[in-house]
């Protein structure tokens, strides 16, 4: 029997009441058929089956006797509210229906005998149920499938006689053929049973209700409660939960109307608790959780103050705890069935409160139950096990209902016995179980802090239960939550408990850790407490036993002391490393490199700051910094020399400086601090290595630094000035870069920007050494700075050879060009040529590297130095070339006629800011031919200044082609040039300009005129038109000359003629100019009636439009001579 079970709710209260039906006449052990029937009743009782609890009983089973009915309540004084056996009696002992199973077929040959045997069996059952309203029913187990009702005359007749013989109504006789459909028959049977059972419970309710009129309010108060409870319970059995709830509610208010005094307080509370449980359970079942919660709150408010006997105050706490626990369980169960709970209303709160009352109980038990008391004899509590008659009564005065206890002496021993019993209750176990239930709930409903709080309580309870390992496990787990949320007061409280645990179990490492944090700045302990703890810590470091923690149970202290001395005696295990980064230890550490980077020829400087927050000075024996490159670690150690140790004064910052020389191979690498170790204690006692990761800092320092930066931002430079002293705002510098030595050379570039497209752009590089010693292995890397647009790499070429134009194989970056050694003060020059194939801006890098011997702090090292110069150079086109085609009349041409000469005009417009020298130009023709025999450049050795233009003109002719009337490539125009300022032997740059394509056109007829360059007024001017047929057909040509005001003419005014293929026809006209000046020639209209594609307009293009006519000069003619 588990302790505390006195407060457990009885199982018959907590179960769901179901109608009780007894089955008799079944031999489930030896008879397979009966077994099958019984199994069909029991198996698969799911929610869709009617709620009946079946039991197989022997036919002659003795049912509980029914007491004689009371006819009057006049002299009756009830002894209690509810008998302890009553619920069980109606759930499991008194059936609503007894069913007699009997094997009998309608056509049984021994029908008569069997019928009377059956009747006898029914009679036996009836006798044992004497006085009860229990129904009786008979089920005939038959081998044959019955015929449909009404068809089997024998059956109906025999059924009637059987009913008669057994004194049964027809409704109570059933037939069960055990054929294939057994389960189906069983389900129909049990539904019928259920109806009978309901009728039974209905009559029971009526029966209890009928008592009411006999009761009076003064003496029968208890009965009012009892009867309401019974009605409600029967209603539940009847599955009428709505009415059950109603009656329970009435019962609940009645129970609180009872006159309460110290002697019956427990009984009232017990019954109130039962009824409340039922109400809450039904409310949850009806899916009205808010009603359940409201009822429970009402219940608690009503009962909270009903403590009862002060000497048994723990009983009240125990009862309250149970109330909360069972409500929590009901709530939890409802959630499992689909109810949704919320953060602020979940079972966790009830478990938590239950735990809280259990804690009260424990406290009261400790106060009330003196350890010295012995068991009185005989023990009055013993009746307990024998059972009580009524719920909630005292075993030594059962049935007693008056205000004063009947026997004061008995009362005293009874209370004492209860107190002694309470002393043995494992309170902590109960509390922990409840707390862990609550933790599980709060975890589910997103209450991490509540969970932590409960875990702290659990830890404390384990501490009280002396299970220190579990206590520490829990406390350790939650400590970091409080630490990260910076609730120092709570953290200190938890640490204090943890320290006690660590002391009591003599766990050295834990003890040291907790001491360290309790001495630290996060601890809210008083100064004298800290002093005590520090003293203990020093003792542990000296391998001595610390003093006991105050508030520790003195009885456990002895055990702890012996544990400690065992620990101390153990040798070899006196070295401990404690990672303090995640705590707030009593020694703070911050380290920094003096600078985020050091040149390789400078000693690397590193500072470690230490500050102790404890009340007394603390001494240490060793301080070591570990770095990412462990070879440097040897330089970053400080150890106390001999006996004298280094010490930290409270609140004072101590700074340790280290410096070392970096290795040259570490240039470009980062050196990081990986950890800092501080050794406390000594080899003779106990060594504790307090270790920080990285450059120190702890769980609280980030926030402190943030706050410090906020305040310094606000106060500006005032704080900056005294920053050296301000611990919080001191920043850590956990890493530093080792960078190469500062070069002492100058690199100068001279050039004439911008660069011109495709030229060999010359950049003059001058390197001058300012070193004191020889710079060795000077190397130049020159060219396009990496990391720019990838296309630039393809269009940039760098070379040192300026004598010829470099080709595309030259790289964009010339790496490591050796330049030899450079003496101190010496100078070195180089020209670098860059060819940029495309325009745009480029960044060029000139990287001069060398090595030099130098000394750092007496150590010889070879340093590599380098100096970078970058220059951005814009590339522009040197000149623009424009090309156009014109006719021999200098008219722009949009298409070129085959085999007729035309002109190509080129213009070179300089856009270079520097003068350009055009060496020569030439044409590379593809389809065209020159019309002039010797093509000579007209631009040789021409110098173009900015914005000047050089033009050329070429006469070309396109030979007849097969595929005419098409666009053809013309060819290229080549220009050789260089800067005027460049030296005469510098290479010429060839720039090729692709000439535009032309559209070719062939004409069927070509016409050209042969006429003098000018005419004179009134002087005949002969014009010969040549008309060529360029087709392979005979062409018919119509020609007409339109009259003109400026000319008179002679010749054919209008003519039609034929021209044979490939031949020409000449037409001669004599024009006689009438006016001077530019005159439009008479228009010649030509049309080809056969060939409509060619129009006169095209042909007219070939002809001269006008001619200059000189005025008639004064002539030394005959007349003037005559006049003379």
Residue 727 binds other proteins, judged by CB under 8 A: no
Minimum distance, C-beta of residue 357 to other proteins, in the bound complex (Å): 9
- C-beta closer to other proteins: residue 451 or 1030: 451
Q: Which of 493, 531, 1017, 1075 binds other proteins (CB under 8 A)?
A: 493
Minimum distance, C-beta of residue 450 to other proteins, in the bound complex (Å): 4
Residue 707 binds other proteins, judged by CB under 8 A: yes
Of the candidate spans 343-351, 630-638, 819-827, 1047-1055, the one that interacts with other proteins by CB under 8 A turns out to be: 343-351
Minimum distance, C-beta of residue 306 to other proteins, in the bound complex (Å): 15
Cis ω for the linkage preceding 754 (within 30 of 0) = yes
| Count, residues near other proteins per rule CB under 8 A | 26
Residues 1049-1108 that bind other proteins (CB under 8 A): none
Minimum distance, C-beta of residue 286 to other proteins, in the bound complex (Å): 24
Minimum distance, C-beta of residue 352 to other proteins, in the bound complex (Å): 9
Of the candidate spans 48-56, 150-158, 450-458, 757-765, the one that interacts with other proteins by CB under 8 A turns out to be: 450-458
Q: Which of 127, 344, 963, 983 binds other proteins (CB under 8 A)?
A: 344
> Per residue in 602-627, is it b (16+ CB within 10 Å) or e — as a string?
bbbebbbbbbbbbbbebbbbbbbbbb
Residue 702 binds other proteins, judged by CB under 8 A: no
Minimum distance, C-beta of residue 723 to other proteins, in the bound complex (Å): 16
What character string, x for contact with other proteins (CB under 8 A) and - otherwise, covers 348-377? Answer: -x---x--x---------------------
Residue 399 binds other proteins, judged by CB under 8 A: no
Residue 489 binds other proteins, judged by CB under 8 A: yes
Q: Which of 122, 472, 490, 849 binds other proteins (CB under 8 A)?
A: 490
Minimum distance, C-beta of residue 482 to other proteins, in the bound complex (Å): 8
Minimum distance, C-beta of residue 262 to other proteins, in the bound complex (Å): 24
Q: State the sign of the Cα–Cα–Cα–Cα dihedral 455, 460, 465, 468.
A: positive
Angle at 415 between CA 412 and CA 416, to 5 degrees: 85
**Which residues are CB-contacts of 377 (< 8 A; sequence separation ≥ 6)?**
none
How far is the C-alpha of 1017 from the C-alpha of 1013, rounded, in Å? 14
Residue 711 binds other proteins, judged by CB under 8 A: yes
Residue 448 binds other proteins, judged by CB under 8 A: yes
Of the candidate spans 64-72, 184-192, 444-452, 580-588, the one that interacts with other proteins by CB under 8 A turns out to be: 444-452
Of the candidate spans 140-148, 150-158, 282-290, 700-708, the one that interacts with other proteins by CB under 8 A turns out to be: 700-708
- C-beta closer to other proteins: residue 259 or 714: 714
Specify whether the CB–CB gap between 228 and 251 falls below 8 A. Answer: yes
Of the candidate spans 105-113, 481-489, 535-543, 810-818, the one that interacts with other proteins by CB under 8 A turns out to be: 481-489
What residues form DSSP beta bridges with 853?
862
What residues form DSSP beta bridges with 597?
737
Residue 723 binds other proteins, judged by CB under 8 A: no
How far is the C-alpha of 1067 from the C-alpha of 523, rounded, in Å? 126
> Per residue in 546-579, is it b (16+ CB within 10 Å) or e — as a string?
bebbeebeeebeeebbebbeebbeeeeebebebe
- C-beta closer to other proteins: residue 343 or 723: 343
Neighbours of 155 (CB within 10 A): 19
Minimum distance, C-beta of residue 576 to other proteins, in the bound complex (Å): 31
Cis ω for the linkage preceding 378 (within 30 of 0) = yes
Q: Is 722 exposed, middle or buried (0-12, 13-18, 19+ CB in 10 A)?
A: exposed
Sole residue written with tokens 């089997």:
152
- What stretches of 81-178 show up as alpha helix (H) in DSSP? 86-88, 111-128, 153-166
Minimum distance, C-beta of residue 587 to other proteins, in the bound complex (Å): 23
Minimum distance, C-beta of residue 343 to other proteins, in the bound complex (Å): 5
Specify whether the CB–CB gap between 861 and 600 falls below 8 A. Answer: yes
Q: Which of 446, 823, 1106, 1110 binds other proteins (CB under 8 A)?
A: 446
Residue 453 binds other proteins, judged by CB under 8 A: yes
**What DSSP string describes 1006-1025?**
EEEEE--SEEETTS-EEEEE
**Which residues are CB-contacts of 271 (< 8 A; sequence separation ≥ 6)?**
81, 82, 225, 229, 255, 391, 392
How far is the C-alpha of 618 from the C-alpha of 612, rounded, in Å? 7
How far is the C-alpha of 684 from the C-alpha of 542, rounded, in Å? 8
Of the candidate spans 14-22, 48-56, 699-707, 1095-1103, the one that interacts with other proteins by CB under 8 A turns out to be: 699-707
Residue 449 binds other proteins, judged by CB under 8 A: yes
- C-beta closer to other proteins: residue 98 or 356: 356
- C-beta closer to other proteins: residue 440 or 814: 440
Of the candidate spans 272-280, 307-315, 707-715, 947-955, the one that interacts with other proteins by CB under 8 A turns out to be: 707-715
Strand segments, DSSP code E, in 931-1032 are 942-944, 949-957, 967-968, 971-979, 989-994, 998-1001, 1005-1010, 1014-1016, 1021-1029
Residues 272-331 that bind other proteins (CB under 8 A): 300
**Which residues are CB-contacts of 195 (< 8 A; sequence separation ≥ 6)?**
none
Of the candidate spans 505-513, 672-680, 708-716, 885-893, the one that interacts with other proteins by CB under 8 A turns out to be: 708-716
Sole residue written with tokens 């041409």:
893
How far is the C-alpha of 649 from the C-alpha of 626, rounded, in Å? 25
- C-beta closer to other proteins: residue 450 or 852: 450
Helix (H) or strand (E) holding 924: strand 916-925
Residue 706 binds other proteins, judged by CB under 8 A: yes
- C-beta closer to other proteins: residue 526 or 714: 714
- C-beta closer to other proteins: residue 323 or 795: 323
For 763, the token pair is 């950049």
Q: Which of 118, 303, 355, 447 binds other proteins (CB under 8 A)?
A: 447
Backbone angles phi and psi of 865, in degrees to 5 = -120, 160
Sole residue written with tokens 């006789």:
173
Minimum distance, C-beta of residue 255 to other proteins, in the bound complex (Å): 22
Residue 485 binds other proteins, judged by CB under 8 A: yes
Residues 814-853 that bind other proteins (CB under 8 A): none
Minimum distance, C-beta of residue 632 to other proteins, in the bound complex (Å): 38
Residues 598-627 that bind other proteins (CB under 8 A): none
Residues 545-574 that bind other proteins (CB under 8 A): none
Q: Which of 535, 710, 859, 1056 binds other proteins (CB under 8 A)?
A: 710
Spatial CA neighbour of 1071 closest among 1013, 1009, 1018: 1018
Residue 487 binds other proteins, judged by CB under 8 A: yes
What residues form DSSP beta bridges with 689?
577, 679
Distance from the Cα of residue 527 to its chain's centroid: 44
**Which residues are CB-contacts of 336 (< 8 A; sequence separation ≥ 6)?**
none
Interacting residues with other proteins (CB under 8 A): 300, 343-344, 349, 353, 356, 446-450, 453, 456, 482, 485-487, 489-490, 493, 703, 706-707, 710-711, 714
């Amino acid at each position: 029997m588990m302790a505390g079970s006195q407060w457990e709710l009885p199982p018959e209260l907590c179960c769901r009441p179901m109608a009780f039906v007894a089955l008799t006449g079944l031999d489930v052990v030896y008879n397979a058929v009966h077994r099958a029937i019984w199994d069909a009743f029991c198996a698969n009782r799911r929610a869709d089956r009617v709620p009946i609890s079946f039991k197989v009983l022997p036919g002659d089973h003795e049912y509980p006797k029914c007491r004689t009915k009371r006819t009057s309540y006049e002299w009756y004084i009830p002894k209690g509210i509810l008998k302890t056996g009553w619920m069980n009696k109606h759930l499991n002992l008194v059936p609503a229906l007894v069913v007699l199973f009997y094997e009998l077929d309608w056509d049984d040959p021994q029908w008569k005998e069997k019928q009377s045997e059956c009747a006898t069996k029914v009679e036996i059952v009836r006798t044992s149920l004497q006085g009860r309203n229990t129904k009786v029913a008979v089920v005939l187990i038959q081998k044959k499938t019955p015929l449909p009702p009404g068809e089997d005359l024998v059956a109906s007749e025999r059924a009637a006689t059987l009913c008669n013989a057994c004194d049964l109504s027809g409704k109570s006789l059933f037939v069960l053929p055990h054929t294939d459909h057994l389960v189906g028959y069983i389900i129909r049977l049990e539904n019928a049973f259920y109806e009978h059972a309901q009728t039974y419970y209905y009559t029971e309710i009526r029966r209890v209700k009928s008592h009411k009129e006999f009761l009076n309010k003064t003496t029968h108060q208890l009965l009012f409660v009892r009867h309401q409870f019974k009605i409600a319970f029967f209603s539940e059995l009847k599955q009428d939960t709505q009415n059950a709830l109603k009656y329970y509610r009435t019962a609940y208010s009645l129970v609180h109307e009872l006159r309460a005094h110290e002697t019956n307080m427990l009984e009232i509370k017990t019954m109130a608790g039962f009824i409340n449980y039922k109400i809450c359970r039904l409310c949850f079942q009806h899916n009205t959780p808010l009603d359940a919660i409201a009822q429970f709150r009402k219940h608690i408010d009503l009962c909270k103050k009903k403590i009862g006997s002060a000497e048994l105050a723990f009983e009240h706490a125990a009862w309250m705890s149970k109330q909360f626990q069972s409500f929590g369980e009901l709530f939890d169960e409802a959630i499992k069935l689909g109810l949704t709970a919320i953060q602020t209303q979940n079972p966790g709160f009830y478990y938590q409160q239950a735990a809280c009352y259990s804690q009260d109980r424990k406290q009261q038990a400790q106060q009330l139950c003196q350890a010295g008391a012995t068991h009185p004899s005989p023990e009055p509590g013993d009746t307990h096990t024998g059972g009580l008659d009524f719920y909630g009564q005292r075993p030594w005065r059962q049935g007693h209902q008056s205000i004063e206890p009947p026997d004061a002496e008995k009362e005293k021993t009874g209370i004492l016995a209860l107190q002694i019993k309470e002393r043995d209750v494992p309170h902590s176990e109960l509390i922990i179980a409840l707390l862990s239930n609550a933790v599980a709930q709060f975890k589910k409903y997103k209450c991490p802090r509540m969970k932590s709080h409960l875990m702290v309580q659990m830890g404390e309870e384990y501490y009280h239960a002396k299970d220190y390992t579990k206590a520490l496990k829990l406390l350790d787990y939650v400590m970091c939550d409080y630490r990260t949320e910076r609730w120092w007061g709570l953290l200190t409280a938890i640490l204090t408990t943890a320290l006690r645990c660590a002391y009591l179990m003599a766990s050295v490492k834990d003890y040291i850790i907790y001491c360290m944090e309790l001495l630290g700045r996060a601890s809210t302990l008083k100064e004298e407490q800290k002093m005590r703890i520090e003293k203990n810590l020093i003792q542990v470091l000296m391998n001595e036993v610390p003093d006991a923690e105050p508030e520790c149970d003195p009885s456990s202290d002895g055990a702890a002391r012996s544990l400690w001395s065992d620990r101390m005696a153990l040798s070899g295990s006196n070295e401990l490393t404690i990672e303090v980064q995640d705590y707030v230890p009593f020694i703070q550490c911050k380290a920094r490199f003096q600078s985020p980077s050091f040149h390789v020829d400078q000693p690397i400087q590193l500072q470690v700051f230490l500050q102790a927050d404890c009340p007394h000075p603390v001494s240490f024996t060793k301080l070591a910094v570990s770095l990412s490159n462990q070879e440097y670690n040897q330089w970053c150690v400080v150890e106390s020399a001999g006996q004298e140790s280094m010490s930290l004064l409270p609140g004072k910052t101590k700074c340790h400086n280290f410096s070392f020389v970096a290795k040259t191979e570490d240039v470009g690498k980062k050196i990081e601090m990986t950890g800092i170790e501080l050794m406390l204690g000594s080899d003779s006692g106990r060594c504790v290595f307090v270790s920080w990761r990285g450059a120190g800092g702890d769980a609280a320092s980030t926030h402190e630094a943030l706050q410090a930066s906020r305040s310094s931002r606000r106060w500006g430079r005032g704080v900056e000035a005294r920053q050296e002293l301000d611990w919080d705002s001191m920043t850590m510098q956990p890493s530093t870069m080792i960078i190469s030595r500062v070069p002492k050379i100058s690199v100068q570039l001279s050039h004439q920007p911008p660069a011109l497209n495709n030229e060999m752009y010359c950049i003059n590089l001058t390197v001058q050494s300012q070193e004191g010693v020889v710079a060795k292995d000077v190397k130049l890397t020159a060219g396009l700075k990496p990391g720019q647009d990838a296309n630039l790499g393809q269009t940039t070429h760098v070379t040192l050879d300026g004598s010829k134009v470099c080709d595309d194989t030259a790289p964009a970056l010339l790496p490591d060009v050796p330049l030899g050694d450079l003496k101190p003060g010496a100078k070195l020059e180089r020209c670098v040529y860059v060819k940029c194939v495309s325009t745009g801006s480029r960044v060029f890098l000139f990287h001069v590297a060398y090595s030099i011997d130098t000394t750092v702090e007496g150590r010889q090292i070879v340093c590599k130095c380098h100096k970078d110069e970058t220059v951005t150079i814009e590339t522009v086109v040197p000149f623009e070339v424009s090309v156009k085609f014109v006719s021999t009349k200098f008219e722009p041409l949009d298409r070129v006629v085959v085999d007729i000469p035309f002109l190509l005009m080129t213009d070179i417009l300089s856009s270079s800011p520097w003068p350009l020298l055009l060496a020569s130009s030439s044409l590379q023709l593809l389809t065209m031919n020159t019309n002039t025999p010797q093509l000579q450049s007209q631009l040789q050795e021409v110098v173009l200044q900015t914005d000047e233009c050089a033009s050329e003109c070429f006469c070309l002719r396109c030979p007849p082609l097969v595929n005419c009337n098409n666009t053809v490539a013309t060819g290229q125009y080549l220009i050789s040039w260089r800067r005027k300022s460049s030296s005469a032997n510098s290479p010429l740059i060839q720039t090729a300009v692709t000439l535009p394509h032309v559209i070719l056109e062939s004409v069927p007829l070509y016409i050209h005129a042969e006429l003098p360059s000018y005419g004179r007024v009134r002087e005949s001017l002969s014009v010969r038109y040549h008309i060529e047929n360029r087709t392979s057909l005979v062409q018919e040509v119509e020609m007409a000359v339109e009259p003109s005001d400026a000319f008179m003419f002679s010749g054919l005014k209008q003519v039609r003629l034929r021209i044979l293929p490939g031949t020409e026809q000449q037409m001669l006209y004599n024009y006689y100019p009438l006016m001077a000046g530019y005159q439009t020639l008479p228009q010649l209209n030509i049309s080809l009636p056969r060939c409509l594609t060619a129009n006169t307009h095209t042909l007219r293009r070939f002809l001269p439009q006008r001619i200059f006519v000189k005025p008639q000069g004064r002539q030394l003619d005959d007349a003037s001579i005559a006049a003379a």
